[in-house]
Amino acid sequence: MTPPSIRPLAVTDPDQLACLLEENLSALEPGLFLLDRRFPAGQVVVDLLGQDARGRLVLVMFGSGSEAALLLQALEAYGWCRENEALLRHLFPGARLDAGTPPRLCLLAPRFADSLRRTARHLGSLAPTLVECRAVELNGERAVSFEPVEGRVEAAPPSAPVGSSSPQEPEAGTRARAQEFVRHLERLSFREAFR
């Protein structure tokens, strides 16, 4: 029996990478079904728009993993999808999307910078799944290896402030987290500019 032949592939063209990921989508997550490629969600293009086995919308975006812009684009796409749930159900009637459940974010990159990983952890329930992926040739066939990022924080529902009984207060907490996130990204961009 001959040992398997594995060698890395350099895939730099986004369309070729999208095709390769589409071919190997079930390896990323069992039951993940592709709805559309290069889906325009507002001003952002979602590389792969999918639906998981539970009927939840999944936004898969890929980039270099070293730029905070990928995270911001994912959040913009997420916001657009939340605001346009009825349109999405109209565009994909056969998908039977779960209307009560927010979309999931999945970011793919060859490697994620520590700064991006750290920033993503602070997003609470909006935290994307970060998966490092590499194109390989296995016994002459193209494939992709997927590795979830170690130390990833699972998305959890935001906790209500202590003593909160007003429905307006959790919204204020969300706003405060968003403002802190923007300040963190601004500091990060400032530091990256001087590297």
Domain definitions of the chain by residue range: 6-157, 160-195
User: 76-79 contacts: CB < 8 A, separation 24 or more?
Assistant: 76/41, 76/42, 76/43, 76/44, 77/41, 77/42, 77/44, 77/46, 77/105, 78/102, 78/103, 78/105, 78/126, 79/42
How much of the chain, in percent, has pLDDT values that exceed 70?
74
Average pLDDT over residues 166-175: 53
Greatest mean pLDDT among 18-22, 51-55, 184-188: 51-55
pLDDT tens per residue across span 87-119: 999 999 988 888 778 999 999 988 888 888 888
Q: Which fold has domain 6-157?
A: Trna Endonuclease; Chain: A, domain 1 (3.40.1350)
